[in-house]
Structure formats: C-alpha cells, structure tokens
Amino acid sequence: MKKIVLIALIFITVDVFSQTSRKYSNEFLSIGVGARALGMSNAYVTSVNDVTSGYWNPAGLTQITKDFQVSLMHAEYFAGIAKYDYGAFAARIDTSSAFAFSIVRFGVDDIPNTTQLIDADGNVDYDRISSFSVADYAFIFSYARKAKLPGLRYGANVKIIYRNVGEFAKAWGFGIDAGAQYDYKTWKFGLMARDVTSTFNAWSFSLSQETIDVFNATNNEIPENSLEVTLPKFIFGIGKEVRISNKFSALGEINFDMSTDGKRNVLITGDPVSVDPHMGVEVGYSRMIFLRFGVGNFQKVTDILNNDKITYQPNFGIGIKFKGIALDYAFSDIGDQSDALYSNIFSLRFDINKQNNTGTPSIQ
C-alpha cells in the first residue's frame, strides 16, 4: 500500500513542479538541522554559535572558538520512508571571520517505477519494474565577519539547489541568504533573510513516449520545462541567557518567521505576509549536560464538530558535550493532529584544533 501511495505522490509532485510560482517551494530547507535547534523548535537564529550557523544564521560562525568544526545529522520521517541528512564543515579564517560549507539532502529512495509494467503486447511483465529516487539537495557556502561595532556580526550564504525526480525531471537553482546577530548585555538579537533575492529553480523534464502515454491514460498533465521561484522569508529572533547558579544556566529564545508568499495557515495570517512564531528553552548544567524544550508550528484547524482550534508542535531534546564532542538528541512530533508521526533525531559535532603538543590535529 505504501508503494502505491508513493507512486501517486510522485505523479502529483511532477505535476506541481511544472507550475511557475508555488508556495512552499524548496520547503525541505525549512525543516531545520542539528538536534539542538530542533529540540528548541527551531528558535535558534540569535543563539546559534557553531558550524550549523551556515544553515541558521551565517553570522554565528564568528563565534566558533576552535580552528575547525564538523557536524553530522541523520533523521527519518514518516516511519522511515523519507530520509534527511546533513553535513557541514566550518573554519576560522582569523579572529574576526569564518567560513563554512554545508550539504543538505532530503529524499525518498527505492520507489517502484511501474510506468513500464505493461509491454507493447498488453502483457504484465514484473521484470519491467525499476526503482528511482526523489531527492532535494542544497549546497551552502557561508561567510561571516565581526563588525567594528562591538557585539554585531553579519554573514551571507550562497546556495546551489539540485532537485531530481528519478530520470523524469531535475532542477538547478541558485539563491542568497543574509544574516546578522547583535548582543547587548545578556540579550541576543538576530535576523535571518532567507532567499533574500528570491531563489530560482529551473526545471527540465525527460519523459519517454511510454511514460507520456501512461500520463495521458491516467489523466495527468504532461509537465513542461519551467521556472520555480522561492520568495524571501525573514526570521527575527530575541533571546536571553541567564546564569541561575555557578553550574546552572538557562537560555530562552523566540523567533518570528515572516513569509512573503501569500496567506499561510499559521498563527498570524496575512496576504502577502504571514507570521509564524516559535520558541525554545535550553537549561544547561556545567556547560556539559543540556535539557531543551520548544513549541511551534501553530495552526488553525477545524475538528469534526466544526469547532475551530489551534494546534501546535511540542519538541524535546537533550545534549551532552565533553572534550570537543557534542552529541544531541531531539524528539520532534508532527503535531496534535497525529500521535503516530514523530522522529528521533541525532546529531554530532566535533571541535578540532589544528595541532596539539605532538603536532597532530586534536579534538578539544
């Protein structure tokens, strides 16, 4: 049953991609990376200060204290059908600047292709079934620098997008992000402008005549080469860090995602701008053990009794940091509408200095 549903989804996806301007374009880049951020419901644009800044806010790269950082993450969604992977490398250039390179992949693999199931004579031949993948890739190049004004940092991303639907379709895209952070005493402020110049994906399709015949027989529209546009999104954040005692600390942050692609089903709806708030809290012990909570994804829904209500997505996470290695875990639920769709997310981060006393690189 899952395979049949997946095949139907692929046909729908190809048809949707043929449109010129779509809401939720490149939405795989809105999922988030790093279990620390996900445990705080992605409320992270002001607090991020490590290699994952290349995704969340490039300005945070200037806060890396080691020579290099490496981060890896793997997550699975919808009972393991979809896989989400992330890897990144960051390095300090000098005391005021840093750069990073990040890769994000979100895909569904081993999807049966049954478009050639029936041969020219009308016979069902299961040997004609092949498989393919539907995957989205993002390659992100980041640079950040400290400003002359104390506490102010800024940075930018250059993104290359590659998306493919097996041998049926592919797209290449290009976009730019810009971000800034400012610290004032114990207060933190952040601004991230995603796709600030809009991101353009150019789609091309390669369909065999047999596949076209299948599309016609199933009343699917034949897609044509087209341009897909991702409009800008602005994320504004406010955070505060406090010391509870010598060993305990707390960090809280709230973000406001302002999309510009028309009315969305979020807490504050508007046309063309909608605002989606989300917030997170992190409690740390000895800067070694961390407990995280977050809430976001507020949506207005109507139940079976025709009553309006607001649903939300709670998140939870824990983290351990020891001698340059950080292991983070997040439990992310899809929301109140289903108790079955959730993900267990793990991420690793390594802090590396160029040389130790023996002259070899070391994790510290």
**Which residues have CB under 8 Å from 338's CB, separation 6+?**
none
pLDDT exceeds 90 at position 143: yes
- Burial of 287: CB neighbours in 10 Å, binned 0-12, 13-18, 19+: exposed
Average pLDDT over residues 262-279: 90
The pLDDT, as a whole number, for residue 357 is 52
What phi and psi, each to the nearest 5 degrees, are found at residue 108? Answer: -120, 125
Cα pseudo-dihedral 165, 169, 174, 179, rounded to 10? -30
Which tokens go with 114? 């049954």
Domains of the chain: 2-363 (2.40.160.40)
Supply the mean pLDDT for the chain. 85
pLDDT exceeds 50 at position 185: yes
Residue 278 CA to chain centroid, in angstroms? 15
The confidence band for 15, taking pLDDT boundaries of 50, 70 and 90, is very low
The pLDDT, as a whole number, for residue 210 is 67
The confidence band for 14, taking pLDDT boundaries of 50, 70 and 90, is very low
The pLDDT, as a whole number, for residue 221 is 75
The pLDDT, as a whole number, for residue 341 is 63
Closest CA to 66 of 87, 89, 86: 89
Give pLDDT tens digits for 300-325: 888 777 888 888 889 999 999 998 89
pLDDT, greater one: 302 or 199: 199
Closest CA to 144 of 136, 153, 132: 153
What pairs with residue 83 in β-bridges?
A: 76, 107
The confidence band for 216, taking pLDDT boundaries of 50, 70 and 90, is confident
How far apart (Å, rounded) are the C-alpha atoms in residues 364 and 357?
12
**E strand or H helix at 10:** helix 2-17
The confidence band for 263, taking pLDDT boundaries of 50, 70 and 90, is confident
DSSP label of 21 = B
What pairs with residue 124 in β-bridges?
A: 118
How far apart (Å, rounded) are the C-alpha atoms in residues 207 and 198?
29
pLDDT, greater one: 40 or 5: 40
**Which residues have CB under 8 Å from 325's CB, separation 6+?**
348, 349, 350, 351, 363
